[in-house]
Amino acid sequence: MATYLDDAFWCKIPAFSQVSEDEFIDYKWQIKHSVCNEPNLIKTIKDIAPDEFIKAACQGFSKTPMAVRITPYLLSLINWRDPWHDPICKQFIPTSNQLMEDHPMLRLDSLHELKDAIAPGLIHRYAHKALFLPLDTCPAYCRFCTRSYAVGRDTNIVKKVNLPIAPQRWKEAFNYIESHPELEDVAISGGDTYNLSAEHIKAIGFRLLQIPHIRRIRFATRGIAVMPMKILSDEKWLKAITSVLNLGRQLHKEVALHTHFNHASEITSITQLAMNQLFELGLVVRNQTVLLRGVNDTASQMQLLIKRLSYINIQPYYVYQHDLVKGVEDLRTSVETAIKLEKNVRGVAAGFNTPTFVLDTPGGGGKRCIHSYEYYNRETGVSVYTAPAVKPGQYFLYFDPLHSLKVEIRAAWQDPKKREEMCSEALKEVIPVP
Ligand SMILES: *Cc1c(COP(=O)(O)O)cnc(C)c1O
């Protein structure tokens, strides 16, 4: 039987030592006390974190593509004696000395979401499913956000594309979906649907469910991982989700929640209570993990995460190979690492609780099973994928992080001519000679 952290764990943080359980479990208190700037971070951890860490974190704030935002709940789960190796700290707090040079093939909008968007915040890449981004904020910001081109406040190094909460903009998306009868699935992401009001959840959910050809919708939120107390204390929000779920049930359409946990230490007894509530409502909850170096890139970490999620009725759905996004090379792993992990994970849980390891190809080929490459050169780190059902006839290249390659090869990537050669070598292996 799995047991989850259930004491008043936040009291270990001096800044929260006087906080009662009732306060801590109140989502409004969590939002109000979230840390978004350097002075607040210092105030919260100055007595418990090593000085060098605090210094590096403050320097990190100005060098990251993502604004910082972290909840008291997450801050309480970090091991401040050794934040450098803490799986939660690594995901949310940038430190200057972690940062590594970007791969020369890296682009800000790696997945071509801006190019594949048919209206601001609506991406129609797969024939039968669409991705709708109604907002661009989250209850906490992951350093490695794949949508760092849009999500969160502008930072020193990235001026963001705005996808604000704007029912007028949404209308355009709904009209498009309505006029494309081939669409069956809509994923509502962002940003994070936790940050939509109850009224907006209902407006979006009802509108989409009432389109005859839409069969399934899912709301994406990292919230259950970063602030599970909202499920327990924001009655209006939960009621809104429930009413969308109930309309879906009446219409025989699926309404699901897709969430995002990366490490077992993000799961506590509060998560379990929140999940029990959602399970009693009959809401399907699936998880999408991002494979992160030093966070969940060992077999034991990934196995434990999958078992713990399954235990509280969260279905592990995907493990993503880290996208080629700016400023987080330290968190990327090679394709080889993902392949090894997948082998070690399969067989640990029920088959339906075993995640598919996918790579979302740069250039908009979509998600591919990590094992399905046409070619993979472990020396240069170049892998080639095809997506016959999405973009037939095209080839998509992914690049392992430089730190996973030999020194000579790393140097070769800095040379534009050799770079070109390494890419064409890979393509020569897969493109049939006419
Ligand atoms: C991931 C994604 C979807 C949903 O894909 P599933 O494999 O069904 O989870 C839809 N559209 C876009 C653009 C996506 O990236």
Atom of ligand 1 nearest to the CA of 113: 13
Instruction: Return the HEC string of the chain.
Output: CCCCCCCCHHHHCHHHCCCCHHHHCCHHHHHHCCECCHHHHHHHHCCCCCHHHHHHHHHHHCCCCCCCCECHHHHHHCCCCCHHHCCCHHHHCCCCCCCCCCCCCCCCCCCCCCCCEEECCEEEEECCEEEECCCCCCCCCCCCCCCCCCCCCCCCCCCCCCCCCCHHHHHHHHHHHHCCCCCCEEEECCCCHHHCCHHHHHHHHHHHHCCCCCCEEEEECCHHHHCCHHHHHCHHHHHHHHHHHHHHHHCCCEEEEEECCCCHHHCCHHHHHHHHHHHHHCCEEEEEEECCCCCCCCHHHHHHHHHHHHHCCCEEEEEECCCCCCCCHHHCCCHHHHHHHHHHHCCCCCHHHCCEEEEEECCCCEEEEHHHCCEEECCCCEEEEECCCCCCCCEEEEECCHHHCCHHHHHHHCCHHHHHHHHHHHHHHHCCCC
In the chain, CATH 3.20.20.70 covers 113-370
CB 390 near ligand 1, within 6 Å: no
Angle between helices 38-45 and 51-61 (to 10 degrees): 160
Q: How far is the CA of 129 from the centre of ligand 1 (A)?
A: 7
Q: What is the pLDDT of residues 235-290, one digit of tens each?
A: 999 999 999 999 999 999 999 999 999 999 999 999 999 999 999 999 999 999 99
Q: What is the pLDDT of residues 5-45, one digit of tens each?
A: 888 999 999 999 999 999 999 999 999 999 999 999 999 99
Q: How far is the CA of 69 from the centre of ligand 1 (A)?
A: 26
What class is the 113-370 domain? Answer: alpha beta
Residue listed under structure tokens 């099973």: 369
Cis peptide before 191 (omega within 30 of 0): yes
- Please, which pLDDT band fits residue 114 given cuts at 50, 70 and 90? confident
| pLDDT greater than 70 at residue 184 | yes
| pLDDT greater than 80 at residue 415 | yes
| pLDDT greater than 70 at residue 194 | yes
Atom of ligand 1 nearest to the CA of 258: 9
322's tokens: 């880290």
Q: Whose CA is nearest to atom 3 of ligand 1?
A: 131
Contacts of the segment 245-251: beta carbons below 8 A, 24+ positions apart:
245/281, 245/282, 245/283, 247/205, 247/206, 247/209, 248/205, 248/209, 248/217, 249/282, 251/209
Q: Whose CA is nearest to atom 2 of ligand 1?
A: 131
Q: Give residue 253's region: left, alpha or beta (phi > 0; psi -120 to 50).
A: beta
| pLDDT greater than 80 at residue 176 | yes
Q: Which of 111, 116, 123, 126 to mutate to test the pocket of ligand 1 (most atoms within 8 A of CB)?
A: 126
88's tokens: 């939660």
| pLDDT greater than 90 at residue 113 | no
Distances (CA, A) of 159 to 48, 63, 104, 140: 34, 13, 20, 19
What distance in Å separates the CA atoms of residue 149 and residue 153, rounded to the nearest whole number? 10
CB 419 near ligand 1, within 6 Å: no
Q: How far is the CA of 11 from the centre of ligand 1 (A)?
A: 40
pTM of the model: 0.97
What distance in Å separates the CA atoms of residue 288 and residue 268, rounded to the nearest whole number? 18
Q: What is the pLDDT of residues 352-400, one digit of tens each?
A: 999 999 999 999 999 999 999 999 999 999 999 999 999 999 999 999 9
For CA atoms 188, 193, 199, 200, the dihedral sign is negative
Q: What is the pLDDT of residues 300-358, one digit of tens each?
A: 999 999 999 999 999 999 999 999 998 999 999 999 999 999 999 999 999 999 999 99
What distance in Å separates the CA atoms of residue 341 and residue 355, rounded to the nearest whole number? 11
- Please, which pLDDT band fits residue 433 given cuts at 50, 70 and 90? confident
| pLDDT greater than 80 at residue 110 | no
- Please, which pLDDT band fits residue 107 given cuts at 50, 70 and 90? confident
CB 367 near ligand 1, within 6 Å: yes
Q: How far apart are the first and last CA of the chain?
A: 59
CB 125 near ligand 1, within 6 Å: yes
- Please, which pLDDT band fits residue 108 given cuts at 50, 70 and 90? low
Phi and psi dihedrals of 409, rounded to 5? Answer: -70, -40
